[in-house]
């Protein structure tokens, strides 16, 4: 059995979201151990574990914490990124719903390590029950003395504020998130200075993903070597892979980094019956799509990069042969146009023109020249945009043209989309 449930392990326990259930499963033991250590020793342990950020970029978590300058007078902050909005990504939401105390415990340990006294979790607003569960967990943690003054008699004080967003994908970008948390429009900031030096309220700040932080308690409790025993040399540990789309059993599969899509698909019962894999995203819509050629690529940071894509959020969106790749990419382009914050020209204008061109292609008014224009425009956005949203918008466009140019051409010769949209739905057999 290649699966390694750690974060997901509690999700089938009765009332798994409560402090009582969490404590029955060794909850808050990692915190007790951490508080008996020097903060720097906690940072060293997380470094040693090889944990890399699960929010998309894979930056080493312990190293990020060690960048916080110590000894100054400004307060330090931990901000957890719970904005989960990257299309396809659906792991942090069930994690907070089923096991919110792992996040809270991780936040206390991380805050202690970086010497923060006030931390925030920024949750997207469109998930009411997830918000209730996290607020409830924070309240229960205060009641038990895991938060507040003199935590467990250690002399350490910490407050956590749960902050609710209001619908904006760009607020997942860490500097836009900080502007939003300060009460402004969520637009990315110029870097440097990096958040570690001047983040929230211009103070030293660590921004980490939910899954990154929730992974910390077990690392402290069971040790860095335990964590390193899973995954690969450069991509250590367990992580949640999310399978969605045309698979027999979509869902969350927690496995060591480095498994392949072939292995995961086998667990998930394969592509839906009677159909075959056409294309997939390794880590959300901002990561270049892959095809059947890539079934055996190790799904770790290095493996996916080696085939020209990115591991991203490990959001494996699976599409079978009934799906029109042009329609899929057109819809993602509409998303990026809608979510572009408008701050820089390449992204604001580029996504606008993407949508125009895809409209033409889908309605049968496209030309061969449009396909070249898409590539030219992508070159003008990639690396020239102010933040990674712009780069992400180019990923589906350029990769789909690389692997499926024929299908774009079919839209020109066929006078629009040659696919039947009903065939790709989950209710295809029933209503057609």
Ligand X SMILES: Cc1cc2nc3c(=O)[nH]c(=O)nc-3n(C[C@H](O)[C@H](O)[C@H](O)COP(=O)(O)O)c2cc1C
CB atoms within 10 A of CB 201: 12
For residues 155-194, which are near ligand X according to CB under 6 A?
169-170, 172-174
Return d(Cα 228, Cα 221) in angstroms, integer.
14
φ/ψ of 208, rounded to 5, equals: -135, 155
Shortest separation between residue 129's beta carbon and ligand X, angstroms: 18
Q: Distances in Å between the alpha carbon of 401 and those of 198, 271, 326, 409? A: 40, 23, 9, 10
Q: Distances in Å between the alpha carbon of 205 and those of 36, 177, 301, 341? A: 24, 12, 25, 23
For residues 394-423, which are near another protein according to CB under 8 A?
421-422
* 136 forms part of the interface with another protein (CB under 8 A): yes
For residues 212-251, which are near another protein according to CB under 8 A?
242-246, 249-251
Return d(Cα 34, Cα 44) in angstroms, integer.
12
Q: Distances in Å between the alpha carbon of 209 and those of 14, 84, 234, 384? A: 26, 9, 19, 26
Shortest separation between residue 395's beta carbon and ligand SF4, angstroms: 13
- What, of ligand SF4, ligand X, another protein, none, does residue 390 touch, CB below 5 to 8 Å by kind? ligand SF4
Binding-residue pattern over the window 380 to 419 for ligand X, x denoting contact by CB under 6 A: -------xxx------------------------------
Q: Are strands 277-281 and 290-291 parallel, antiparallel or unpaired?
A: antiparallel
Q: Locate the DSSP E strands across 22-172.
A: 77-82, 118-123, 159-164
* 430 forms part of the interface with another protein (CB under 8 A): yes
Q: Which residues of 163-192 are buried (b: 16+ CB within 10 A; e: fewer)?
A: bbbeebbbbbbbbbbbbbbeeeebbbbeee
Q: Are 234 and 300 a contacting pair, CB within 8 Å?
A: yes
Q: With respect to another protein, which residue has the nearer C-beta, 118 or 234?
A: 118
Shortest separation between residue 84's beta carbon and ligand SF4, angstroms: 17
For residues 333-362, which are near ligand X according to CB under 6 A?
none
Return d(Cα 214, Cα 208) in angstroms, integer.
10
The region of 10-18, 190-198, 203-211, 250-258 touching ligand X under the rule CB under 6 A is: 203-211
Which strands form 238-245's sheet, in the order they lie side by side?
251-256, 238-245, 315-320, 277-281, 290-291
* 141 forms part of the interface with another protein (CB under 8 A): no
The region of 23-31, 44-52, 315-323, 386-394 touching another protein under the rule CB under 8 A is: 315-323
- What, of ligand SF4, ligand X, another protein, none, does residue 23 touch, CB below 5 to 8 Å by kind? none
Judged by CB under 6 A, the residue of 3, 13, 37, 57 near ligand X is: 57
For residues 94-123, which are near another protein according to CB under 8 A?
94, 97-98, 118
Q: With respect to ligand X, which residue has the nearer C-beta, 236 or 417?
A: 236
The region of 25-33, 80-88, 217-225, 329-337 touching ligand X under the rule CB under 6 A is: 80-88
Nearest to 77 by CA among 160, 200, 209, 164: 200
CB atoms within 10 A of CB 128: 9
End-to-end CA distance of the chain: 39
Q: Which residues bind ligand SF4 (CB under 6 A)?
A: 170, 188, 340-344, 347-348, 385-387, 389-390
* 207 forms part of the interface with ligand X (CB under 6 A): yes
Shortest separation between residue 432's beta carbon and ligand X, angstroms: 36
Q: Which residues bind ligand X (CB under 6 A)?
A: 53-57, 59, 81, 83-86, 169-170, 172-174, 207-209, 212, 387-389
């Amino acid at each position: 059995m290649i699966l390694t449930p750690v974060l997901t392990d509690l999700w089938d326990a009765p009332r798994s979201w409560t402090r009582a259930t969490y404590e029955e499963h060794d909850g808050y033991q990692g915190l007790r151990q951490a508080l008996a250590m020097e903060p720097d020793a906690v940072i060293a342990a997380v470094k040693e574990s090889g944990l890399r950020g699960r929010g998309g970029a894979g930056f080493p978590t312990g190293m990020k914490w060690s960048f916080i300058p110590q000894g100054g007078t400004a307060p330090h902050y931990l901000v957890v990124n719970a904005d989960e909005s990257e299309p396809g990504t659906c792991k942090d939401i069930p994690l907070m719903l089923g096991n919110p105390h792992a996040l809270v415990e991780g936040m206390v340990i991380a805050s202690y390590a970086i010497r923060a006294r006030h931390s925030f979790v920024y949750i997207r607003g469109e998930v009411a029950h997830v918000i209730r569960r996290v607020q409830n967990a924070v309240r229960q943690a205060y009641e038990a003395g895991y938060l507040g003054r003199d935590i467990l008699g250690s002399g350490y004080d910490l407050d956590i504020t749960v902050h609710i967003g209001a619908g904006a994908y760009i607020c997942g970008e860490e500097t836009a998130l900080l502007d939003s948390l300060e009460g402004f429009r969520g637009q990315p900031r110029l870097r440097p200075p990096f958040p570690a030096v001047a983040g929230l309220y211009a103070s030293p700040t660590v921004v980490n993903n939910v899954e990154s932080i929730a992974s910390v308690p077990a690392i402290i409790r069971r040790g860095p070597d335990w964590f390193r025993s899973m995954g690969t040399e450069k991509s250590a540990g367990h992580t949640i892979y999310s399978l969605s789309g045309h698979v027999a059993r979509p869902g969350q599969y927690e496995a060591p980094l480095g498994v392949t899509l072939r292995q995961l698909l086998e667990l998930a019962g394969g592509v839906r019956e009677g159909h075959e894999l056409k294309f997939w995203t390794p880590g959300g819509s901002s990561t270049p799509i892959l095809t059947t050629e890539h079934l055996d690529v190790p799904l770790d940071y290095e493996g996916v990069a080696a085939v020209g894509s990115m591991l991203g959020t490990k959001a494996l969106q699976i599409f079978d042969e009934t799906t029109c790749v042009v329609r899929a990419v057109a819809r993602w382009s509409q998303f990026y146009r809608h979510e572009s914050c408008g701050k820089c020209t390449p992204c604001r204008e580029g996504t606008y023109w993407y949508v125009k061109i895809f409209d033409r292609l889908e309605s049968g008014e496209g030309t061969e020249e449009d396909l070249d224009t898409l590539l030219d425009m992508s070159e003008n956005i990639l690396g020239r945009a102010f933040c990674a949203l712009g780069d992400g918008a180019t990923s589906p466009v350029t990769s789909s043209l690389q692997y499926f140019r024929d299908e774009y051409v079919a839209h020109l010769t066929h006078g629009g989309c040659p696919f039947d949209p009903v065939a790709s739905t989950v209710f295809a057999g029933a209503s057609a």
